[in-house]
Structure 1
Amino acid sequence: MFFGPEHIPLENGGLSYYPQYIDDPDTLYQLLRDNTPWQQPVLEVYGRRHVSPRLVAFIGDVGVSYRYSGYQHIAQPWPDVLSSLRDKIVIDTGYEFNCALLNYYRDGNDCMGYHSDDEAVLGSDPCVASLSIGCPRDFMLKSKINKRPAQKINLASGSLLLMLPPTQRYWQHALPVRKGLSQGRINITFRKVLLSPQD
């Protein structure tokens, strides 16, 4: 049974953090690490192209695709374990998700720069559910509208972080480099891609 959520208020946004959302994160980590068709795409950021500083995979419902940083992801079918996990998150949070972007940080050198999950295909105020398994890492948040110091959350293995509307509109998040860290981490971010104006 999971514990939580812990509600973390933000100016113009908010988070819900479930510190122990799944019971056996190590088994899920090993399963996904060893059986996911990981890719390392070339991304375009601020007009420059570079190899992604992490491995990625994209899964989802039939017909779902997702483009960011100049790269188009076509959804691969849901593995049973992630389809069941998606269904659980939908029931527990009340938000619908039709896809998930997986990020595999092989060690502390793999990272994610500051960004918002605010692509038009996600709608004006998306909710993003982020499940962390493997080595805990620091998750950084900074406001788009003021220069206050960034906030830090250490995401435990097996935890779920729900980034509630309208957080993506007003905040950016990142996973910085942690030199000397040899263990890996997988992050599964559940999203809802809009397929038509009626979605």
Structure 2
Amino acid sequence: MDQLNLFGLFSNPNEPVQINGGSYIYIPDFFPHSKASQYLKAFIETIEWNQEGMMMYGKYVKFPRLTAWYGDNDKPYSFSGITLQPKPWNTELLEIKKLIEPLSGTTFNSVLLNRYRDGSDSISWHTDAEKELGRNPIIASVNFGAERVFQLKHMKTQERIDILLKHGSLLIMMGELQHNWLHQVPKTQKIIGERVNLTFRTIK
């Protein structure tokens, strides 16, 4: 299996990286370190976090992370058998939304927040291809806190791409990526601190 490691070493970080059936932009230092740390502290302290879960083989299993859904008040989001009702935008979320929309080329109306408390928190292989996201959704992922490896895996070829998501980084997934690639943030045995990830979306 071919695997490519990309740790933010691009000649032009604003130019989309073309891959087999999709594209993305990764900017490791989109937010200055001090500002990223301010956002991390604010989100940990003020976001209304919940630990959702789902039925699996007749048993209720909690997700290994905390989540929250914010955005326009008429944009609920359904995945893994649950439906999240949005909480109203706060100041920090609106600031970030305004900053990333020009580069993303779209207007976001919702954001899913994930809080990884340590290395044992994770998210398994999945796509963000729910019908309410539209045909070729643009997903902007903002990352604060501990560095974690973000993995992409092509559904047919099994090709792998690893991207180290740094404190203050921005990853924009676009094109047909959600239809051709799975992605995950795996567990790690390293002793690491908290990470907050924001994935901005447009619910149709």
What TM-score, normalized to structure 2? 0.89
Gap change, CA 1:126 and 1:46, over 3 Å in 2: farther
Q: Supply the distance in 2 between the matched residues of 1:45 and 1:85 (Cα, whole angstroms).
A: 35
Q: Supply the distance in 1 between the matched residues of 2:76 and 2:20 (Cα, whole angstroms).
A: 31
Matched, 1:175 2:175: no
**RMSD of Structure 2 on Structure 1 (CA):** 1.6
Give the aligned partner of residue 166 of structure 1: 176
Q: Supply the distance in 2 between the matched residues of 1:112 and 1:92 (Cα, whole angstroms).
A: 26
Deviation per residue, 1:130-186 (Å, 9 max, x gap)? 0000011000000012133x2111011100000011100100100000113230100
Deviation at 1:30, TM superposition (A): 0.8
Q: Supply the distance in 2 between the matched residues of 1:129 and 1:110 (Cα, whole angstroms).
A: 21
Q: Supply the distance in 1 between the matched residues of 2:181 and 2:118 (Cα, whole angstroms).
A: 26
Unaligned ranges ≥5, structure 1: 195-199
Which residue of 15, 19, 22 maps to 1:13?
A: 22
Q: Supply the distance in 2 between the matched residues of 1:47 and 1:174 (Cα, whole angstroms).
A: 24
Q: Which amino acid aligns with 1:135?
A: A
What TM-score, normalized to structure 1? 0.91
Deviation at 1:20, TM superposition (A): 1.1
The aligned runs of 1:43-58 (5 Å cut-off) are 43-44=54-55, 49-58=60-69
Gap change, CA 1:113 and 1:45, over 3 Å in 2: farther
Alignment check: 8 A CA contact 2:104 2:140 kept: no
Matched, 1:185 2:195: yes
Deviation per residue, 1:44-85 (Å, 9 max, x gap)? 468764101100000001211000001110000001111121
Gap change, CA 1:144 and 1:193, over 3 Å in 2: same
Paired residue total = 191
Q: Supply the distance in 2 between the matched residues of 1:117 and 1:46 (Cα, whole angstroms).
A: 23
Q: Supply the distance in 2 between the matched residues of 1:109 and 1:19 (Cα, whole angstroms).
A: 23
Gap change, CA 1:171 and 1:44, over 3 Å in 2: farther
Percent identity, aligned pairs only?
Answer: 32
Structure 1 residue matching 2:16: 3-state secondary structure: strand
Alignment check: 8 A CA contact 1:26 1:133 kept: yes
Q: Supply the distance in 1 between the matched residues of 2:166 and 2:57 (Cα, whole angstroms).
A: 31
Q: Supply the distance in 2 between the matched residues of 1:125 and 1:47 (Cα, whole angstroms).
A: 33
